A and B are shown apart, each in its own frame.
Chain A
Amino acid sequence: MAELTEAFSIVGKPLTKPDAFAKVSGQTKFADDLALPRMLYGRILRSPHPHARILHVDTARARALAGVHAVLVGEDLPVKFGILPVSQDEEALARERVRYVGDPIAAVAATDEWIADEALDLIEVQFQELPHVMSIEQAIAADGEPIHGSSNVHKAVALEFGDTEEAMRTAEHVREDVVFFEGNTHLPMEQHAAVAQYAADGKLTLWTSSQTPHYVHRALGKVLELPMSRIRVVATPNGGGFGGKSDIFSHELVAAKLAIVTGRPVKITLTREEVFYAHRGRHPVLMKVRTGFLKDGRIKAMQFQSFLDGGGYGSYGVASTYYTGALQATTYAIPRYRFEGVRLFTNKPPCGPKRGHGTPQPRFALETHFDKVAEELGLDPVELRLRNLPSPDSKTVNWLRITSCGLEECIIKVVAGSRFLDRRTSMPPGRGLGFAVSSYLSGAGTAIYWNDMPHSEVQLKLDRNGGVALLCGAIDIGQGSDHILAAIVAEVLGVGLEDIQLTTADTDLTPIDLGSYSSRVTFMAGNAAKTAAEKVRDRLLEAAAQTLHCDPDELVARDRRIFRRSRPADGLSFAQAVQRAEAEAGLVIATGSYTPPKLTGPYKGSGVGPSPAYSYSAAVVEVDCDEKTGEVTVPEVWVAHDIGRAINPMLVIGQVEGSVYMALGEALMEEQTFRLGLHKFPSLLEYKSPTALEAPVMHTYLVETIDREGPFGAKEAGQGPLLPVIPAVANAVYNALGVRIDEIPITPDKVLKALNDKTKRVGPKAVPTFQFPPVIKSDVPDEWKGK
C-alpha cells in the first residue's frame, strides 16, 4: 500500500501524551502504590563492610520475633545471576563474601516494616574483614585478595583499526590529554520497589519498577529455578529510570522468593540510602586520548585508553567498557583508531548504564581535547569540528554504519543561536562560552543475550467499535514511550490517540520489547508498531474497497474514516471498516516485529557500538564564574539535536531539556564518592543535584534528517543531548577563566585550585601502568583505505 502522502495528523504534533492525566491526577500506580490483601513487607540486611568474608549468619532471634514470617539467607537463593551472560557474578543474598557497603546478605518478611527492621537488627553476622580497594590505581596494584577470581581486572580490551602509529608519524600536530570523570548516580525520584505474589495455583507474579521486565523475567526463571511460563513480570510505570532500573536487583529476586516461602504477597521498597547502593550508575573513568592532526585540523589518527572503576560486580560493565571506545568515530571522521579499555573491580556499589552509557566520559575527554587542539592550531573550535564531520551513509573506521547525520546543521544552529563565534572572544569578566558535539545510538544493534529474534514486537487487536488494543512489552519510564507507540499506530490507522488502548510491559500479555534502555524504544518498538498498524490498515482498506467498489490504493484512513482520496465523501467510518473486515475473515489483528539489521564488523568486540541509526547533538553553554568562590553557574544553554523526525516535538524537547539538566548536574556537582569504604553521602540532601533555582534558560533546536530506517524517520532523543553539555561546560570555564578543569565534576574547590596553580589546570597527570591484552587488529572499511 502506498505511503500516505498527505501531511500527518498526529506525527509531528505537540499532543498531550496518553498517560498525562493519570500522572497529574496522582492516579498512576507506581510499584510502591500497590497493596495486596495479606501483604507482608520485606527488608534486606546489607553489608556494613566494603570487603569481608561472611563467616556465619545467625537468624534464630530474627525468626523468633513475633510478626516475622520468613528469613532468607544466601543459601536460600544460591543460583548466581547477572544482566550479561558473560557476567553471572551476583547473588541475591551474598553467601561467602560481601564486596561493597550495601551488598545484600539476608532478608526478612514481616507484617509491617517496623517489625521487619527490628528483625534485621536481630540477625547476627560474623565477618572477617578483608582489605578493600577503592580506586582504579589500587585495583591495578592488587595487593590484597582480588574481589573476584584471580585478578581485579574484570574486562580488558584492545582494538585497532588500521595502523595508528604509522598514521601518527604522518601527523603534523599530535596532542595527548589525560582526564578523569568521577562516578555519579541516576537518582530517580522513585525508589525501586517490587511486589511479588505467589498464587495458590503455583504462579508467581512480580510487579516491579523496572526498565527491563524481560530480563527480570529471565533472571527470575534462572534464580528461582521455575519455568518462565509460571512467572509473570509486570513493569509498573517507572518514577524515573535513567538506566538505574535496567539491571536485575536483589530485592526483586528476594521479594519473589519471600512470596513463595510465605504464600503471601510481599513488597520490598528500597530506602533512599539503599538506592545509592543499588546504583549501577556512571562509571568513574580515567582516560588518555592522543590524536594526530594535519595543520588544517583534519584528524589522521586517534589512540584512546579508558580505565573504568566498575564497583563490586560485573553488571553491564563489559558493554560499558566497549562503549567508552565505540562512538569516537561516529562523531568524527577518524581514519585510523586504536582503543584500549579496562574495567576494574573495586569495593563500591556496582556501576552500570546511566544516561549515555559509557559515552559521556569519553565525550568529555574528546571535546575538551579538541578545544585545546583548536587553540594550538589557531582554529576556532567550531571550524575544527566542521573539518572532521562524519558523512551520512558511510561506515566509520570501526565499521559502524551511519545512515542520516545532521551534525553540521546542529552545529550551525547552536553557533548561530548563541552568536558563539562573535561573543566568545569578548565575554565580560568571569563569563565564558563553551562548545561541544556528540553522537549516540538509536538502540543497541545487538541484544544483551545472543539470539536472532526480534528486539521489539507489537500486537494490535481491533474491536468492532473502532477501538484499537495495542500490546507491547515496552515500559514508559517518563520518556513518553506510551505516546510514541499510540501516536504511530493512530497515525497509520487514521484514528485518534484516545482510540488506542495500551497494554504494556506485562510478560503474560505483551510481546517482547527488550526494554527501555540504549535509547531503543522509539526506533525499535516504533518500527514494530508501524509495521503492525500498516498490516491492519491494509486489511481495512481491502474490506472498505469491496464495499466502496474501488481499488484499495484509492483509499485513505484518516479522521476515523476510510474514504476515497479523490472523493472524500465516499467512505466508511473506521468502525464500519473494522466490522466489514471482521465479517469477512474474522478477528482483526496484526503483529509487527523489528529486528535491527546485522551491523557487526569483522572483529571480536564489534557487538557493542552498532546501532541502526545515530543521533547527533551540539551544544553551546554559557557560564558565569565567581573567581573568589570558584562557583560556576550556567545562565544559558543552546542545544541542537538531530532527532531524525520528532514524532512529538514537545516530548522530544522535554527529553532534550531533561538531558541538559542532568548533564549540568554531572558537570558541576554530582559525584558518588567514598571515604574509608563508605559512601560519603547516600542521601538526597548531601548528594547535590540541581534544583529549580539552577535551571538555565535553554534554547532547543530540533534538526530533522528523516532517517530512512527510523519509524517516520525518527531517531533517539533520551540520551544523546546530554553528551555535549558536560564538555561544553568545561570549555566554557576555560573561556571564562583560562583554567582547565580536566576532571568532572567541576566543583568550586577545583576551580580555585586551578586559579591558584601555575599550570592553571586541575586533573590527573598520567594513567597507571597497565598491560593491555594484545591488540586485536582489524582492517579498515574500503572507504578508509589509503586515507
Chain B
Amino acid sequence: MSIADRVVVRLRVNGEDMAVMVPPYKTLLEVLREDLGLTGTKHGCELGECSTCGVLVDGRPFLSCLAMPLDLEGREITTVEGMASGRESHPLQVAFAELGAAQCGYCTPAMLLTAKALLDRDPHPSRQAIKEALAGVLCRCTGYLKIFEAVELAAARADR
C-alpha cells in the first residue's frame, strides 16, 4: 500500500476532534495506539476474543480491535485516557487503585471502561450484574473479586 492510498480519518476521541491519514484497513485499536499515541488501550488477541482492547463508543463498550475507524466518524470515542476529569481521576480509577483491583494493569483500561458503561446505565448494580457486565473482559491476575469490590465501592461513593 502506498502513501497515496491512505485516507483521512476524522475521529472524536475523549472530547477532542482528531484527524489522521492512515491506510483504510487500520483498526481503531491501531489508530488509537500508533497514530494518536493513546497507548492506554491494550490488545490481547486482536481477534475480538478477550476485550482487552475495549473502549467506549457513544458510551457503550466496543472492541477496538474489530472496529474500522472510517465507520466511527462522528461517534464519541472514550479511552482510558479520557476517564479522568482534568487532574481528577474517575471514582472507578480511584477505587481500582485503592483496592488493588489492578495487578499487572494490562486488562485494567478495558475493565474500567466497561465498568463505567455499566455504572452510567445502572448506578447500583448487583454483584451478578457486575459479573455479567465484565464477563467479556479477561483478567488473569486478580480472580476478579477485587474488581467487583472496586466497582461496588465506586458505586457506593457516588451516592455520597
A48 close to B (CB within 8 Å): no
Contacts of A32 in B (CB 8 A): 43
A190:B44 contact, CB within 8 angstroms: yes
Can you offer 12 A-B residue contacts whose CB atoms are under 8 A?
A: A23-B104, A24-B89, A29-B39, A187-B140, A189-B42, A189-B44, A239-B105, A479-B103, A654-B100, A654-B146, A657-B145, A695-B148
Q: How far is A32 from B42 in the complex, measured between Cα atoms in Å? A: 9
Q: Of residues 123 to 160 in B, which have CB atoms within 8 Å of A's CB atoms?
A: 130-132, 134-148
Stretch from A420-428, A457-465, A625-633, A686-694 at the B interface: A686-694
Q: How far is A14 from B99 in the complex, measured between Cα atoms in Å? A: 8
A683 close to B (CB within 8 Å): yes
A684:B140 contact, CB within 8 angstroms: no
Please tell me the number of chain B residues within 8 Å of chain A, measured between CB atoms: 57
A26:B131 contact, CB within 8 angstroms: no
Q: How far is A660 from B106 in the complex, measured between Cα atoms in Å? A: 20
When the two chains form the complex, which single residue of A657, A659, A692 contacts B135, counting CB atoms closer than 8 Å?
Answer: A692
B134:A692 contact, CB within 8 angstroms: yes
When the two chains form the complex, which single residue of A26, A242, A662 contacts B41, counting CB atoms closer than 8 Å?
Answer: A26
A393 close to B (CB within 8 Å): no
Quick one: given A24-B97, A683-B49, A684-B44, are A698 and B143 in contact (CB under 8 Å)? yes
Nearest Cβ on chain B to A133's Cβ, whole angstroms:
30
Q: How far is A186 from B138 in the complex, measured between Cα atoms in Å? A: 13
B18 close to A (CB within 8 Å): no
Q: Of residues 7 to 26 in A, which have CB atoms within 8 Å of B's CB atoms?
A: 14, 16-17, 19-26
Q: How far is A684 from B42 in the complex, measured between Cα atoms in Å? A: 15
When the two chains form the complex, which single residue of A30, A651, A684, A695 contacts B144, counting CB atoms closer than 8 Å?
Answer: A695
When the two chains form the complex, which single residue of A22, A26, A653, A685 contacts B39, counting CB atoms closer than 8 Å?
Answer: A26
Quick one: given A24-B96, A657-B145, are A30 and B45 in contact (CB under 8 Å)? no
B64 close to A (CB within 8 Å): no
Quick one: given A240-B104, A271-B46, are A695 and B145 in contact (CB under 8 Å)? yes
Q: Of residues 548 to 586 in A, which have CB atoms within 8 Å of B's CB atoms?
A: none
B135:A662 contact, CB within 8 angstroms: no
Question: Considering only CB atoms, which chain A residue lies closest to B102 in the complex?
Answer: A23
A24:B144 contact, CB within 8 angstroms: no
* Most central of B34, B106, B109, B146 by chain A CB within 10 Å: B106
B4 close to A (CB within 8 Å): no
Question: Considering only CB atoms, which chain B residue lies closest to A649 in the complex?
Answer: B100
Nearest Cβ on chain B to A498's Cβ, whole angstroms:
13
A399 close to B (CB within 8 Å): no
Can you list, as one digit per residue, whether each of A78-98 has a CB less than 8 Å from chain B (1) or not (0)? 000000000000000000000
Q: Of residues 86 to 103 in B, which have CB atoms within 8 Å of A's CB atoms?
A: 89, 93-94, 96-100, 102-103
A695:B143 contact, CB within 8 angstroms: yes
Can you list, as one digit per residue, whether each of A30-43 has a CB less than 8 Å from chain B (1) or not (0)? 10110100000000
Q: How far is A662 from B104 in the complex, measured between Cα atoms in Å? A: 15
Nearest Cβ on chain B to A641's Cβ, whole angstroms:
14
Contacts of A684 in B (CB 8 A): 44-45, 47, 49-50, 138
Contacts of A691 in B (CB 8 A): 135-136, 138
Can you list, as one digit per residue, whether each of A631-674 has a CB less than 8 Å from chain B (1) or not (0)? 00000000000000000001101100111111000000000000
Contacts of B142 in A (CB 8 A): 654, 657-658, 661
B11 close to A (CB within 8 Å): no
Nearest Cβ on chain A to B126's Cβ, whole angstroms:
13
Nearest Cβ on chain A to B68's Cβ, whole angstroms:
15
Q: How far is A695 from B101 in the complex, measured between Cα atoms in Å? A: 14
When the two chains form the complex, which single residue of A17, A25, A33, A692 contacts B137, counting CB atoms closer than 8 Å?
Answer: A692
Contacts of B93 in A (CB 8 A): 21, 24-25
Where the two chains meet, the residues of B that have a C-beta atom closer than 8 Å to any C-beta of A are 1, 23, 33-34, 38-47, 49-50, 52, 79-81, 83-84, 89, 93-94, 96-100, 102-109, 112, 130-132, 134-148
A662:B105 contact, CB within 8 angstroms: no
B131:A695 contact, CB within 8 angstroms: yes
B50:A658 contact, CB within 8 angstroms: no
When the two chains form the complex, which single residue of A25, A188, A271, A689 contacts B40, counting CB atoms closer than 8 Å?
Answer: A25
Q: How far is A479 from B99 in the complex, measured between Cα atoms in Å? A: 14
Q: Which DSSP category, helix, strand, loop or mixed, fits chain B's interface?
A: loop
B105:A19 contact, CB within 8 angstroms: yes
Contacts of A659 in B (CB 8 A): 143
Q: How far is A188 from B83 in the complex, measured between Cα atoms in Å? A: 25
A190:B148 contact, CB within 8 angstroms: no
Quick one: given A16-B97, A654-B103, are A662 and B140 in contact (CB under 8 Å)? yes
Contacts of B107 in A (CB 8 A): 189
Q: How far is A730 from B43 in the complex, measured between Cα atoms in Å? A: 34
Quick one: given A33-B39, A191-B43, are A693 and B140 in contact (CB under 8 Å)? no
A477 close to B (CB within 8 Å): yes
Q: How far is A20 from B81 in the complex, measured between Cα atoms in Å? A: 15
A658:B103 contact, CB within 8 angstroms: yes
B105:A24 contact, CB within 8 angstroms: yes
A188:B103 contact, CB within 8 angstroms: no
A480 close to B (CB within 8 Å): yes
Q: How far is A435 from B50 in the complex, measured between Cα atoms in Å? A: 32
Nearest Cβ on chain A to B110's Cβ, whole angstroms:
9
A443 close to B (CB within 8 Å): no
A660:B143 contact, CB within 8 angstroms: yes
When the two chains form the complex, which single residue of B43, B80, B89, B138 contacts A689, counting CB atoms closer than 8 Å?
Answer: B138
Nearest Cβ on chain B to A635's Cβ, whole angstroms:
13
A20:B106 contact, CB within 8 angstroms: no
B100:A17 contact, CB within 8 angstroms: yes
A753 close to B (CB within 8 Å): no
A272:B140 contact, CB within 8 angstroms: no
A478:B103 contact, CB within 8 angstroms: yes
Contacts of A28 in B (CB 8 A): 105
When the two chains form the complex, which single residue of B1, B79, B100, B104 contacts A239, counting CB atoms closer than 8 Å?
Answer: B104
B141:A23 contact, CB within 8 angstroms: no
B147:A692 contact, CB within 8 angstroms: yes
When the two chains form the complex, which single residue of B52, B81, B104 contacts A477, counting CB atoms closer than 8 Å?
Answer: B104
When the two chains form the complex, which single residue of A189, A653, A683 contacts B47, counting CB atoms closer than 8 Å?
Answer: A683
A27 close to B (CB within 8 Å): yes
Contacts of A190 in B (CB 8 A): 42, 44, 104, 106
B140:A20 contact, CB within 8 angstroms: no
A473 close to B (CB within 8 Å): no
Contacts of B146 in A (CB 8 A): 653-654, 657
Nearest Cβ on chain B to A726's Cβ, whole angstroms:
15
Contacts of B81 in A (CB 8 A): 25-26
B89:A21 contact, CB within 8 angstroms: yes
Question: Considering only CB atoms, which chain A residue lies closest to B137 in the complex?
Answer: A692
Contacts of B83 in A (CB 8 A): 25
Q: How far is A536 from B39 in the complex, measured between Cα atoms in Å? A: 39
Contacts of A240 in B (CB 8 A): 104, 106, 140-141
Nearest Cβ on chain B to A398's Cβ, whole angstroms:
33
Q: How far is A29 from B42 in the complex, measured between Cα atoms in Å? A: 11
A772 close to B (CB within 8 Å): no
Q: How far is A691 from B104 in the complex, measured between Cα atoms in Å? A: 17
